[in-house]
Structure 1
Amino acid sequence: MLDSPETPLKALIRNRRPGHSLDAPFYVSPEIFAADMELIFGRHWIYVGVEPDVPEPGDAMTVDIGRYSVIVVRDDDMGIQAFHNVCRHRGARILHDEKTTVGNIVCRYHAWTYDLSGALIHAEHMGADFDRTCHGLKRVHVRSLQGLIFLCLAEEPPEDFDEMAREMGPYIAPHDIANTKIAFESDIIEQGNWKLAMENNRECYHCAGNHPELTVPLFAYGFGFAPDEMDEQDRAQAERYACLVRDSHADWEGSGLPSREIERLDSRITGFRTERLPLDGAGEAHTLDTKRASRKLLGQFTRANHGALSFWTQPNSWHHFMSDHIVTFCVMPVDAGTTRVRTKWLVHKDAVEGVDYDLANLTEVWSATNAQDSALVGYAQQGARSPAYEPGRYSPHTEFLVEKFCRWYVGRMAAHLGR
């Protein structure tokens, strides 16, 4: 499909109508899904987890990205290494558990043994002319952005990761991911294409009618609004919100917390966006009472009412950083109509469940929101399968960031296909 001069995919990309949702095949076609896995998930930086997933030397996790399985391991020098989960002997999968601890990496089949740097250190009965140094595990590019782990399966990864890290590092660093732990994680299998899961995240047009828990700590005017539909009272409230954002940014940045928006969603190969925004009520956390969920604050925070820092990356993640906890989200495609969304809640590594935080209170808002979003994505997938489906127009006031996601996606596909 990818080799002909004018494939159906190339035609769909060329004819994509800006400001509208994608044509149905982008959501339902197995062939386009295969292209997504090759050209998007196979060639870009993919968020897969956090350094607390592998906190100590020998701690390892396996990550599935399409047909690939990758080992992420903490080495003896506390660095993060990543390797294809394929033995260099006869190709058996080596690690089978999602999380484990190893002294060395040992294949169960014939006991070929690799150290934590990926070097082959033991292979019996291979003959005197066998050179172990030529048979180490195949490396996968891995980078940590202040504790957020990204992988790239391509031989040559996009070169702009350092630019993202330079801009985002000061925003994330105060939350000190290295000194957090995973309090809870959950997976939801959504019955929809991965792009629908991402599009749903990139707007809050749907929030007021579908997310009663999430909208408690959020300001309504943070969802976007149509100025030409507002009466005088609405305009006054919108202006008060704008003033609150400006004043909060000045306050937080005066305290050493970068807060102003950086938006690179469709202008970079490694697209991203960030901004710290105030929260409603007590202004402390994504909880039903809007107060912090953990008594132990992160990093050097001395007060909890610093709002929430959002960080989005293309193609597959979003994150919320608060003074007391962090929530991260990783989207992984399963097939054309199925997507896994993994959520992790991080608290200070010394926080004690039942003493410093209540797990139900910590997870309640986003557990409910994830379930609601899963249903909505399923509805969208059902609609995309219908012969009656046609691309619909995005709201320029509340869905402009969805358009940026689609523009990034179509642009990256076109670049790789040589439009």
Structure 2
Amino acid sequence: MSVDVQERNRLSAAVVGESAPDYKRKFSLPQYYYTSPELYRKEMEFLRSKLWLMAAHESQIPKNGDFKLFEIDGESIILCRDLQGDVHAFYNVCRHRGSPVCVTNEGNAKAFSCPYHSWTFMLDGTLKRPRAMDASFDPKEWNLKAAHLGNLDGLLFVCLAKGEAPSFEEFAGRIRPFISQYGLTKAKPVYVQDDLIVTNWKLPLENYRENYHISSVHQDLGRVMGAAMDHSNGESHAERMSRLGRSLPMVYDEAESLYLQQAIQFAFGKDQVSATQDGSAASSLMPTITEWSKGWTYINFNPLSHINLQDDYAIMVFFTPVSETVTKTSMVFLVNEDAVEGKDLDVKKLIDLYVVTMAEDNVVLGRHQKGIESGAYEPAPLALEEDQIVLFHDWYFNRVHGVPTA
């Protein structure tokens, strides 16, 4: 749909709010969009009710009784494996008077006992009959509230919709063939990193979608990416992937889509087999990989949830809003469950490039938020290499606010 600027701005004011300033397509957003508590609440209503959000890998709770918390926008979700081995997601809220029933970020338990009045919930969410309740009290009516949970080859996603959630199969269906190539159900985590950044949630998403800053901010990543441009290594990547039976058509959503998904197979450069500082392997092949493809797969499940897959490891990258000006960034590195440190696994080598890159991004993003909050800030034109930010903005206004953008 083509919408002229005047009509788009009228719609923006009507839907986003009368205080929302006009925004120009292919420009950075006005300050309001990175600082407004009122706008943030509207955004969270959409994210919580419409999106499947990456939360963990099931190997992070490998044993019966294991649990870990996933937190977003003040909401706390317990991911746990019950005594029969089934994985659940529950709101971390006691059904008595609302106190959290789980007060540690991760661990192992036989049950969750609220520290306030000792109401005790089993790992499948059922409530054991509490003391001193009326005879008419029925514990079965007061089990922990379940959050919507989806599992894609061990990748755990939650949706916080109050009613019916969007179809998980529709969300995961087109991505599943890419994921299934790597055998993630037989993977294990070797490194997890969480960082809190003083920045609006949209800034890390914009940063993750563009390469314009790489030469300025990421010297190591720039060097590795520069080497990756040299494909003079005989057999083409497309030919190799076809020979290996792994070639898949690209997934590339436009702004009108619900999830803005992407799944793309890329080639490494000459002599590279993995995304490490020197391009060599850091671990044994992933469980279902039999031969080095000399390439990698980038997957964007939605703007907040991503995974990069190499033949020897995978890295989950996801962003969770905490408030209008605080965002949590998370990385989970996965390898073949049989890989052994010092034998066929070098964890430091495996994580070094991404850990350095994320640290550099975190510094830049904190400064970026501070600059945007200045009275001197005003939107400016985006560079040609920031076209993916334009696509994200178009999706954002389309899906979050119902405002056509192009």
- Give TM-score scaled by structure 1 length: 0.86
| Partner Cα separation in structure 2 for residue 161 and residue 282 of structure 1 | 39
Judge conservation of contact 1:158–1:269 (CA < 8 Å) in 2: no
Q: What's the counterpart of residue 292 of structure 2?
A: 304
Judge conservation of contact 2:127–2:144 (CA < 8 Å) in 1: yes
Q: Following TM superposition, by how much is the alpha carbon of 1:157 offset from its aligned partner in structure 2, in angstroms?
A: 5.1
- Give TM-score scaled by structure 2 length: 0.89
Q: What's the counterpart of residue 7 of structure 2?
A: none
Matches within 5 A, 1:282-321: 282-294=271-283, 296-321=284-309
Q: 2:398 aligns with which of 394, 399, 411?
A: 411
| Partner Cα separation in structure 2 for residue 96 and residue 309 of structure 1 | 37
Q: Following TM superposition, by how much is the alpha carbon of 1:7 offset from its aligned partner in structure 2, in angstroms?
A: 6.2
**Residue-by-residue CA offset, 1:48-103 (whole Å, 9 max, x unaligned):** 11111212222111111112111111234433211110111121101111111122
| Partner Cα separation in structure 2 for residue 219 and residue 157 of structure 1 | 46
Q: Does 1:356 align with 2:363?
A: no
| Partner Cα separation in structure 1 for residue 298 and residue 86 of structure 2 | 26
| Partner Cα separation in structure 2 for residue 332 and residue 304 of structure 1 | 33
**Residue-by-residue CA offset, 1:248-298 (whole Å, 9 max, x unaligned):** 13421442324442112523222311111011243221111101111x211
Matches within 5 A, 1:14-413: 15-156=22-163, 158-219=165-226, 247-264=236-253, 266-294=255-283, 296-396=284-384, 398-413=385-400
Judge conservation of contact 1:216–1:280 (CA < 8 Å) in 2: no
Q: What's the counterpart of residue 228 of structure 1?
A: none
Measured on the aligned residues, the alpha-carbon RMSD in Å equals 2.6
Q: Following TM superposition, by how much is the alpha carbon of 1:373 offset from its aligned partner in structure 2, in angstroms?
A: 0.9
Pick closer, same or farther for the CA change 1:12–1:146 going to 2, 3 Å. farther
Q: Following TM superposition, by how much is the alpha carbon of 1:158 offset from its aligned partner in structure 2, in angstroms?
A: 5.0
SS of 1:82's equivalent in the other structure is strand
SS of 1:214's equivalent in the other structure is helix
Structure 1's consecutive aligned runs of 4 or more residues displaced over 4 angstroms after TM superposition are 5-8, 11-14, 219-222
| Partner Cα separation in structure 2 for residue 56 and residue 91 of structure 1 | 28
Judge conservation of contact 2:126–2:143 (CA < 8 Å) in 1: yes
Judge conservation of contact 2:50–2:166 (CA < 8 Å) in 1: no
SS of 1:218's equivalent in the other structure is helix
Judge conservation of contact 2:54–2:157 (CA < 8 Å) in 1: yes
SS of 1:374's equivalent in the other structure is helix
Q: Following TM superposition, by how much is the alpha carbon of 1:311 offset from its aligned partner in structure 2, in angstroms?
A: 0.8
**Where does structure 2 lack aligned partners over 5 or more consecutive residues?**
1-11
Task: Give the AA of the match of 1:201.
Answer: Y
| Partner Cα separation in structure 2 for residue 336 and residue 129 of structure 1 | 44
SS of 1:127's equivalent in the other structure is coil
SS of 2:203's equivalent in the other structure is helix
Q: Following TM superposition, by how much is the alpha carbon of 1:8 offset from its aligned partner in structure 2, in angstroms?
A: 8.5
SS of 1:175's equivalent in the other structure is coil
Judge conservation of contact 2:74–2:322 (CA < 8 Å) in 1: no
Q: How many residues align?
A: 392
Q: Following TM superposition, by how much is the alpha carbon of 1:121 offset from its aligned partner in structure 2, in angstroms?
A: 2.6
| Partner Cα separation in structure 2 for residue 134 and residue 266 of structure 1 | 42
| Partner Cα separation in structure 2 for residue 64 and residue 96 of structure 1 | 12
| Partner Cα separation in structure 2 for residue 14 and residue 156 of structure 1 | 33
Q: Following TM superposition, by how much is the alpha carbon of 1:302 offset from its aligned partner in structure 2, in angstroms?
A: 2.0
**Residue-by-residue CA offset, 1:314-363 (whole Å, 9 max, x unaligned):** 23122111111111112112222222111111111122222222222111
**Where does structure 1 lack aligned partners over 5 or more consecutive residues?**
223-236
**Residue-by-residue CA offset, 1:21-40 (whole Å, 9 max, x unaligned):** 21111112222223222332
